[in-house]
Structure 1
Amino acid sequence: MDQEGSVGVQVPSVTGRKGELARSDDTDTGQSKRDLDKDILCPICFQTMKDAFSTACGHSFCYMCIMTHLNNKKNCPCCGLYLTNTQVFPNFLLNKLLKKASTCQLVSSATPLEHFKLYLQEGAEVSVKELDSLLSLLADKKRKAEQEEAETNMEILLDFLHRLQQQKQEELNELQADLQFIREDVSSVEKQRQELLRARERYSVKLRMLLQGSSPNLVKGATASPSTGNAIAFPTKTEPGMAASVAVARKGDCKERVSSISFQKRDQRLGGSSDCISNLLGPVPSPSMAIAKKKRVLAQFEDLQECYLLKRRRMASSPRPRQLDPNSKKDKDSDDKNIGSAGLEDFQNVLNAFTRYSRLRVIAEVHQGDLFNSSNIVSSIEFDRDDKLFATAGVSRRIKIFEFSTVVNVPAEVHFPVVEMPTRSKLSSLSWNKYIKNQIASSDYEGIITVWDVNTRQSIMEYEEHEKRAWSVDFSRTDPSMLVSGSDDCKVKVWCTKQESSVLDIDMKANICCVKYNPGSSHFLAVGSADHHIHYYDLRNTVAPLHIFSGHRKAVSYVKFTSSTELASASTDSTLRLWDVAENTHIRTLKGHTNEKNFVGLSVNSDYIACGSETNEVCVYHKAISKPAAWHRFGSSDLEDSDDDSSHFISAVCWKSESPTMLAANSQGTIKVLVLAP
């Protein structure tokens, strides 16, 4: 047992030494191979030598490498000895070694299949039995490979079909939900329309009978209002002319209209005076107007469809109000009806606003060209707190303030400003204080921010901290003492009219083109810059913006809030964009104007967005529609025709609060008062 154990102990020892010897041999072989590889490298190109040539000093090189070297220098690249073209000779032995090395390398890197092919090509003897065995093995391998490939292909196809089925099922579910919304709304609208037609019919018949005197007792009691359903009390006793006066007094309550064709047919049946009844009921919309509105809807059908579905889906997915009885189907149906009607009502408001106007009409013009200035670009135009005054500023180095009512109501060749304040530099932006009526702020090309008193025509405060041109200034709507500015020095500065220096400084690392306070809070600020982004800040913590809105492809020239949660932006990429600052999402992109290099103005109200174009046009968008709803080209005036100059562009626009009236100015210094019209 001890001997066997002894022998047993010796075996692994011997084996280990053999392993060590084997590893030593492998190491030597590997080292020899590396040395060989090193020897066959050309000292010039460091690649395996091709067509090896040796020099008189005993070094070998690629033929092309050594000849190229000797054409420039007459020495050996390795030892530096003098060498000419005649002292270089072919190295036949090395070339044979290189060929063998290349073959060995090819063989060593070959696959087993390539080895077998090489083996057969070299004429190896293989018996028929061995060939049959190989063929059988290859056939089995082929069948197995085909089976695995087929299974893999089926798995991939099945996975694709499952994913496609899931996607289409989700689309079908969404489409079915949309169809259900549409069915419910179609039913609701048809009922409302029938009620309106019946109410109008009843009201027109009663008015007809009242005027004809065919039913003198009709006026006793009360009739239902077609618009509200409330009782309308007629006098119980009429005197001559009383009926007509009562009918005229009730004219405002009859807001619904029926088509003129059906109205004329009823006139023929009842034999009354259609002119009299038409005067009492008010003008009936013409069929041509309805057709024109329908064409506008069809032209923007895709956008309107998206708007409708968005509002209905949003209402359907909104949290339901808490029910008294969660198991009550009646309460659930009532909630569904209320939610549906709310979504439909929201869309109807959009549709009504969109179809209400189709053009911009000029109602007044102001020509304020300055003979002493070759350039009359109006860079900013703003209404005051009460919309009674508006101020203009630009490269003429003057702030001019006009009285709006005078401009609109008093015809004149030239309208003179009621206040004019000269400035030291060209002006880029204006902002009225929305609480202190006589205060207005300006920014200029020297980087100076000035607060003016319009009554005294003097500056109250001047801030000179900006190092370059200041593009934008804005008063806070919630704190009348706070204003903000942005400049080409890449700085946003917050100012207080009670202090002589800035109270806050934000370094943006890019040129600032526009700044705007959120109308709901003086803590939130939107900044548009040359880095193509909109930075939304909370001024209580300016280390980093709350959010950065990306999407514009060029500098952001303007930012304006349509509400405390919705922001509009303009860029020199010829687009406007709407953003939700509460959800930090992009809502819509608006296109249709041209803006590639100039500041063309941007103004918003709750429904519409106005901007200029470098085609000398004003474009008005409904914020739910991506294409312009109306536009007006300067040079094609409603008041008088004038020559058009395509080199000019719109430079400033401003809405008059929530009215359909707006101001627009162009690079010639012409200001137009425009109003949205059907």
Structure 2
Amino acid sequence: MLGWREIRRSSWFALQLEQSHQGPHQAAVNRSPKDKIGPCLVPGCQTGEKVQDLKAWYTSSEEHATGTITFASDIYSLGVFMFELFCSFGSEVERMRVMADLRNRILPPRLLSECPKEASLCLWLLHPDPSCRPKARDIFNCEILMEAGDAIAERQAAVLLEEKEAESEVLFEFLLRMQNQKQENARKLAHDVSRLSADIQEVERRRLALKKKRGPITKVENSGQRRVTGANMQERKGLQGKRQHPEDGVGFREKGIACIDGRGKILSKSARFMSNFNHLEKVYFSMNWRACAPGMGMSKSSSRQGAEGLSIGCAASDELKATSRSGEENEEDWLGCFFDSLCKYARYSRFEVKATLRHGDLLNTANMVCSLSFDRDEEYFATAGVCKRIKVFECDTILNEHVDIHYPVVEIPCRSKLSSVCWNGYIKSHLASCDYEGVVQLWDASNNRVLKEYEEHEKRAWSVDFSKAYPTKLASGSDDGTVKLWSINQERSIGTIKTKANVCCIQFPPDSGHLLTFGSADYKVYVYDLRTTKLPLCILASHQKAVSYVKFVDSVTLVSASTDNTLKLWDLTRANTAPHAQTGCSLTYTGHTNEKNFIGLSIADGYIACGSETNAVFAYHKSLPMEMASHKFGCTDPITGREVEEDGGQFVSSVCWRGKSQTLVAANSMGNIKILEMV
């Protein structure tokens, strides 16, 4: 019962604090002329009288006589608190009078008539004989608290049902609101309103189908809730043999509030949709337009040429036909695709930090991490940067060991600053890197030795990547305006692509070794068929500054990052072979800041992650242009390692997803690495 003693002391302290916040004159003014009883700070009056009265209210007769606090006296104090909760007072004078009567167990007639159960509980707790007062187990088994528990269980069952129904309301509310807006301009937007009406009917049909499926399940769930409720009651009775803290009784109300959190999450998702209403509207009509006019992105001849060109590098003709058929099926249910995009967007809203580590040491201020990469089995990730070392960490060990310092399992010293690192997707121990001197190196990470060293680039090499379809092939891009193709079985390059501008990034598609794309400082993305490298297969030109990263989402879709503060999604089936092709750009993502640095780019399962020059990580879904989650790195002093208020120009320099999971590894320009999970 120690908690009730603390409550009494805090009540006395709160009374004194309340009076100290009023000046003598204000206290005298606030007191009514009829109010002869009560605290007053005017000279001649003392608050001690009120404090003594308050102490007397909560003190049992035996405690007042002996000065000893017992369990029974705490029960008496609990009875006074319960009485004050059940009974309301019109004025301070009335309160003083009623509390004085309470010492003689005289309760107000109104409480006796309107709340007989509550009055009975108070009389029981305030019994003059300490031995007749209830024990803790008797209080928890009283009818009032039992009814409260049953009410909470019923409310929880009702909330669960509301959640199931509310999940289908999000899309319906979005379309309904859009319908109301378009009907205001019915003459100009008659086609839009007609289409929306048809879609709403489709959503209603699907919702009715869901309700029919939910009907027989609801009864089973209700009976299950009753069984669970009974089990909880038995569990609570089983715990009654232990002495519990009296404040635990207050937990019933907190549990009842927690039951409503599920409904709040649904409302929160709906609020996120409405806050991004304009973005979602554009995506909705874009998908609608493409479903109604699938060939509008390019002419039939160019479409055929693009498909034939992509069939050379991406997939066989049978696979293209299957892809085409699946695309037609998706177009038939484009509304379902849009709803799927909304669900994936609403599934996650923030990043949660799971572990942190430092890439460099406190004595070396050059600790920026330039590249991150996971190995074939997603067990280890490698880091590389300006500290001239490749470090390999075991991801699960870092997540499971809660220590301040994490050591790499492998540490490879290099002769120059590193710009990129990449694991082989087939040979687990093979690791490729490129550095500021233009050297491309192939490592065996299992025994920490160099397997191959290529020195054909004349300037700094920015990017290196292994082919996933042909694991013996890799490529690198450099400031000398060339893309070099390498084989792990040969000492020299097996091919060269020359361009007029610096090559900032390269990427192989996931299912082809004949197609290669790279981003350049001339604001363009180039796609090449490696068997005919005289001319690019297509050129993607929509960025306003240098293209720093390019990553494939699938065999015909890729994302590019640029220092114009944007990411862009490209559909290669819509792009043509003419220079400066802009028709292939499907979507532009904005929200992060990127004007001069490499900030990293990673894609997994349709989720796009990138860094920002605001020292934050941003995540997008491929089908929607606005950010879905972000995380701000704490600014760290390079000497002390402590967090400081000023960021000092720090930025997130590299990111990497752990396969098709919600785990993301991110690093910033000070060498701070965080393992984040999207929740």
2:413 is aligned with 1:414: no
What's 2:632 paired with? Answer: 633
Q: Tell me if structure 2 keeps the 8 A contact 1:370–1:396.
A: no
> How many Å separate the matches in 1 of 2:399 and 2:218?
41
For structure 1, which segment, 197-206 or 344-353, has the greater mean C-alpha deviation from structure 2 after superposition? Answer: 197-206
1:43-54 mapped onto 2 (5 Å cutoff):
none
> How many Å separate the matches in 1 of 2:228 and 2:465?
60
2:374 is aligned with 1:398: no
- Residue deviations 1:650-672 (CA, integer Å, cap 9, x gap): 11000111111100000110100
> How many Å separate the matches in 2 of 1:593 and 1:633?
11
Question: Which one has more relative contact order, counting CA pairs under 8 Å at least 6 apart?
Answer: 2
Identity %: 43
Amino acid at match of 1:412: V
Q: 1:184 aligns with which of 197, 201, 208?
A: 201
Q: Tell me if structure 1 keeps the 8 A contact 2:654–2:666.
A: yes
What's 1:469 paired with? Answer: 460
- Residue deviations 1:82-105 (CA, integer Å, cap 9, x gap): xxxxxxxxxxxxxxxxxxxxxxxx
SS class of match (2:450) = strand
Q: Tell me if structure 2 keeps the 8 A contact 1:616–1:646.
A: no
1:189-204 mapped onto 2 (5 Å cutoff):
189-204=206-221
What's 2:511 paired with? Answer: 520
1:400-549 mapped onto 2 (5 Å cutoff):
400-549=391-540
CA 1:211–1:506: 2 relative to 1, 3 Å: closer
> How many Å separate the matches in 2 of 1:463 and 1:212?
69
CA 1:391–1:506: 2 relative to 1, 3 Å: same
Task: Tell me the TM-score normalized by structure 1.
Answer: 0.59
What's 1:653 paired with? Answer: 655
CA 1:283–1:581: 2 relative to 1, 3 Å: farther
> How many Å separate the matches in 2 of 1:478 and 1:608?
22
Q: 2:267 aligns with which of 291, 305, 309?
A: 291
- Residue deviations 1:611-644 (CA, integer Å, cap 9, x gap): 111111111112222221111111189xx99324
Q: 1:577 aligns with which of 568, 571, 574?
A: 568
Amino acid at match of 1:553: Q
- Residue deviations 1:144-188 (CA, integer Å, cap 9, x gap): xxxxxxxxxxxxxxxxxxxxxxxx999756425522442332322
> How many Å separate the matches in 1 of 2:463 and 2:473?
14
1:339-418 mapped onto 2 (5 Å cutoff):
342-418=333-409
Amino acid at match of 2:675: V
What's 1:598 paired with? Answer: 597
- Residue deviations 1:531-565 (CA, integer Å, cap 9, x gap): 00001111111111111111111100000001111
CA 1:509–1:180: 2 relative to 1, 3 Å: same
CA 1:339–1:470: 2 relative to 1, 3 Å: closer
Q: Tell me if structure 1 keeps the 8 A contact 2:199–2:335.
A: no
> How many Å separate the matches in 2 of 1:552 and 1:539?
24
Amino acid at match of 1:345: G
> How many Å separate the matches in 1 of 2:511 and 2:655?
23
> How many Å separate the matches in 1 of 2:187 and 2:478?
49
- Residue deviations 1:65-95 (CA, integer Å, cap 9, x gap): xxxxxxxxxxxxxxxxxxxxxxxxxxxxxxx
- Residue deviations 1:516-535 (CA, integer Å, cap 9, x gap): 01112111111101000001
Q: Tell me if structure 1 keeps the 8 A contact 2:609–2:617.
A: yes
CA 1:189–1:283: 2 relative to 1, 3 Å: farther
SS class of match (1:536) = strand
Q: Tell me if structure 2 keeps the 8 A contact 1:303–1:624.
A: no
Amino acid at match of 1:675: E
Amino acid at match of 1:643: V
2:573 is aligned with 1:556: no
Q: CA deviation at 1:413?
A: 1.0
What's 1:673 paired with? Answer: 675
Q: Tell me if structure 2 keeps the 8 A contact 1:316–1:339.
A: no
CA 1:199–1:338: 2 relative to 1, 3 Å: farther
Amino acid at match of 1:198: G
Q: CA deviation at 1:316?
A: 5.3
Q: Tell me if structure 2 keeps the 8 A contact 1:589–1:626.
A: yes
- Residue deviations 1:427-449 (CA, integer Å, cap 9, x gap): 00011000000001001001000
1:92-103 mapped onto 2 (5 Å cutoff):
none
What's 1:92 paired with? Answer: none
What's 2:608 paired with? Answer: 609
Quote the RMSD (CA, aligned, Å): 3.0
CA 1:499–1:283: 2 relative to 1, 3 Å: farther
Q: CA deviation at 1:605?
A: 1.4
> How many Å separate the matches in 2 of 1:485 and 1:549?
20
Q: Tell me if structure 2 keeps the 8 A contact 1:474–1:483.
A: yes
Q: Which runs of 5+ in 2 are unaligned?
A: 1-184, 235-251, 296-327, 576-583
> How many Å separate the matches in 1 of 2:331 and 2:499?
45
Q: Tell me if structure 1 keeps the 8 A contact 2:465–2:508.
A: yes
Q: Tell me if structure 1 keeps the 8 A contact 2:359–2:369.
A: no
Q: CA deviation at 1:581?
A: 1.4
Q: CA deviation at 1:286?
A: 2.1
What's 1:323 paired with? Answer: none
Amino acid at match of 1:186: V
Q: How many residue pairs align between the two structures?
A: 429
CA 1:283–1:174: 2 relative to 1, 3 Å: same
> How many Å separate the matches in 1 of 2:591 and 2:269?
20
CA 1:210–1:647: 2 relative to 1, 3 Å: closer
Q: CA deviation at 1:574?
A: 0.8
For structure 1, which segment, 595-604 or 361-370, has the greater mean C-alpha deviation from structure 2 after superposition? Answer: 361-370
CA 1:636–1:196: 2 relative to 1, 3 Å: farther
Q: Tell me if structure 1 keeps the 8 A contact 2:551–2:559.
A: yes
CA 1:212–1:673: 2 relative to 1, 3 Å: closer
> How many Å separate the matches in 2 of 1:480 and 1:174?
51
> How many Å separate the matches in 2 of 1:200 and 1:366?
48
What's 2:126 paired with? Answer: none
Q: Which of the pair has more CA radius of gyration? A: 1
Q: CA deviation at 1:607?
A: 2.0
> How many Å separate the matches in 2 of 1:189 and 1:636?
49
- Residue deviations 1:25-52 (CA, integer Å, cap 9, x gap): xxxxxxxxxxxxxxxxxxxxxxxxxxxx
Q: Tell me if structure 1 keeps the 8 A contact 2:497–2:533.
A: yes
Task: Tell me the TM-score normalized by structure 2.
Answer: 0.59
- Residue deviations 1:188-241 (CA, integer Å, cap 9, x gap): 23313423542442222443677799xxxxxxxxxxxxxxxxxxxxxxxxxxx9
Q: Tell me if structure 2 keeps the 8 A contact 1:610–1:653.
A: yes
> How many Å separate the matches in 1 of 2:534 and 2:665?
38
> How many Å separate the matches in 1 of 2:469 and 2:288?
34
1:35-434 mapped onto 2 (5 Å cutoff):
172=189, 174-176=191-193, 178-207=195-224, 286-315=262-291, 342-434=333-425
Q: Tell me if structure 2 keeps the 8 A contact 1:650–1:667.
A: yes
Amino acid at match of 2:376: R
2:606 is aligned with 1:589: no
